[in-house]
Structure 1
Amino acid sequence: MSALTYEVKDRQSPVAAWLGVTFPQHKEIQAEFRVGAGAQQVLMPAGAAPGTQGAAIDFWLRMLVDPQPSIALPLVGLLSGRARCLRAGKELLHELAAGESPRQTANREVELRMRPAGFADRGDELWARVCYALALLVELYRAESVEHSRLMRLNASSGAADLLALANDVEVADLVAMRALAVERLLPVLPAGPVTTGMTFEGSADLAADADLIAGGMLVEFKAGQGGKPRADGSRAASLPRTDLDQLLGYTLMDYSDHHGLHVVGVYAVRFGYLASWPLADLGQRMGARAVDLAALRMEFAGV
């Protein structure tokens, strides 16, 4: 089964084609986002892998708002057998889950959760290394090739300490800086209400999709990209690719029966410390150039 994130990047995909025709207007929203984000606050360090850093900070931001974030995907990656780090991964995940055993849900998904509050005495450096390790394990599940993964430095006798040592000091400092910026700029503006992270949707049975955060009816995706091309002075402007907007629309439409009660969607630009959000009715009307019937569009998207 394919994934929404892959489909929206393939302009030949029926999913991307339908979203493009149904919601053709996007340039004005992109321009507003670029201006609103302002200057980049946390620069990507040289030599860091953007994908791994992005996945690592995703985990850390989820831990800031969710008392029981899922660590099921790292477990699935670990059990794939694509790297000889089974002992190291098991030690880390067992500790994070406080001894809780993984279980399968009714739809046969693996479920494993951690409780960050139980590790309140851990410093930022250790948390950064934990999140980096979790990101590497997820890559075993998601990445097409893992032959150059740092996990290949480990062997069958490696332990959790070896896994945590894979992040270098520059990457750790980068993650700590992004986390600190989020505490200052994201947490205070999240709406009150129930919080869930790493959630799936009804449509995830048709097309794999799991989102970052829902807080008080607002769906938020974390984006840790550097922004556009470097200017002459090395600075960058924030960017909001069409694929990011399609991802938000896709998640919303895959909630076929409105189980999550979404009414606002947003993007948090991690390196800019900027949260942009749009009421669904407003976003749909602006991108579709007409008033939208969300229930009807969900049925149509399910067909696609």
Structure 2
Amino acid sequence: MSALTYEVKDARSPVAVWLRTRFPAYKEIQAEFRVAAGPQRLAMPPGVAPGTQGAAIDFWLRMLVDPNPSIALPLMGLLSGRAPCVRAGRELLGELAAGDAPRRVEGGGVELRMRPAGFADRGDEWWARVCYALALLVELYRAASVEYSRLMRLSESSRAADLLGLAIDAEVTDLVAMRDLAAERLLSGLPSGPVTTGMTFDGSADLNADADLIAGGMLVDIKSGQGGKPRADGTRAASLARTDLDQLLGYTLMDYSDRYGLHTLAVYAARFGHLATWPIAELGERMAGRPIDLTRLRAEFAQVLRGQLPPYQAQRGW
């Protein structure tokens, strides 16, 4: 099954077509985001893999706000058998889960959770390396090819320490810096209320989708990219792609039953220390050009995912 993040990037996908037809206006929102974010605070060091680094900081920020975050996706990646690191991965995940065994969940998946509070005595470097290792394991589940993954440097006899050693020092330093900035600029902006991380939606049964975090009805998508192209002086402005907005809208619409009581959407630009928030009704009205009926739109979007997307995927060869 495809994923929301893939479909919004395919301009011919029924998902992207529907979202951009129903919500055509976005450039003003992009411009406001760019101005409000201000200058880039943390540049990405040379040699860093952006995708892996982004997934790593996602894990770390989830651990800051969720007392029991899921590490199921790294486990699913490990169980895929695509890399010779089963022993190392089992050791690490077993330690993080404090000995708890994975459990089967509805749909044939597995669940495994960790308790960050149990590792409060560990230093920043350990946390950074753990999160990077988890990001690498997730790639075994999500990436089309893992031929050049650093995990291929490991062997069947490798241990957890070898897995933790795959992050380079520059990546560790960068992750610590992003964590520190988020502690200052993100955490204080989260509303009080229930916190959920790595959550799926009702519509995830129709199209794979898992978001970063929800706090008190605010859904936050974490972006750790560099921003736009470098200016003449080397600085960069924050960027908010049309696909980023489509992703936020998609998450909202895939919560068919309003399970999470979402009322606000947000993007946290990790290298700018900027948290942008939009009430759902306001963002929807601005992008649609009219007031929105969220219940009706959720039903329409479900029909797109169930009726229009499958034949398109078949045509695409999926």
Please indicate, yes or no, whether the TM-score normalized by the shorter chain is above 0.5: yes
Determine if the alignment matches structure 1 residue 2 to structure 2 residue 2. yes
Which amino acid in structure 1 is aligned with residue 185 of structure 2? Answer: R
Q: List runs of 5+ in structure 1 lacking aligned partners.
A: none
Which position in structure 2 is the counterpart of 1:148?
Answer: 148
Query: 1:110, 1:41 → 2: CA distance?
Result: 38
Q: What does residue 196 of structure 2 align with?
A: 196
The Cα RMSD (Å) is 0.4
Q: CA deviation at 1:108?
A: 2.1
Q: Which residue of 2 aligns with 1:51?
A: 51
For 1:208 and 1:181, the matched residues in 2 are separated by 30
In 1, the alpha carbon distance for the partners of 2:106 and 2:137 equals 24
SS in 1 for 2:222: strand
Q: Percent identity among equivalent residues?
A: 77
Residue in structure 2 matched with residue 265 of structure 1 by the alignment: 265
Q: After the TM superposition, which residues 230-241 of structure 1 pair with which residues of structure 2 at under 5 Å, given as runs?
A: 230-241=230-241
Partner of 1:99: 99
State the AA in 1 paired with 2:107.
N
SS, match of residue 122 in structure 1:
coil
**Structure 2 regions of 5+ residues with no counterpart?**
305-318
Superposition pairs of residues 1-304 of structure 1, within 5 angstroms: 1-304=1-304
For 1:234 and 1:250, locate their aligned partners in 2 and report how far apart those are by CA, in whole Å.
Answer: 34
Question: How far is the alpha carbon of 1:109 from its aligned partner?
Answer: 1.9
Q: TM-score scaled by structure 2?
A: 0.95
C-alpha distance in 2 between matches for 1:200 and 1:142: 15
Structure 1 residue ranges, 4+ long, deviating more than 4 angstroms after superposition: none
Q: How many residues align?
A: 304
Tell me the amino acid that sits aligned with residue 148 of structure 2: H
Q: Helix, strand or coil: the match of 1:140?
A: helix
Structure 1 distance, partners of 2:95, 2:236, is 40
- Tell me how far apart the structure 1 counterparts of residues 105 and 265 of structure 2 sit (CA, whole Å): 27
Aligned amino acid, residue 139 of structure 2: E
C-alpha distance in 2 between matches for 1:217 and 1:235: 34
SS at match of 1:60: helix
Deviation at 1:33, TM superposition (A): 0.2
Mapped to 1, the partners of 2:174 and 2:141 lie a distance apart of 24
Q: Can you list the C-alpha shifts for 1:13-43, whole angstroms capped at 9, x where unaligned?
A: 0000000000000000000000000011111
Instruction: Look up the equivalent residue of 1:152 and give its one-letter code.
Output: M
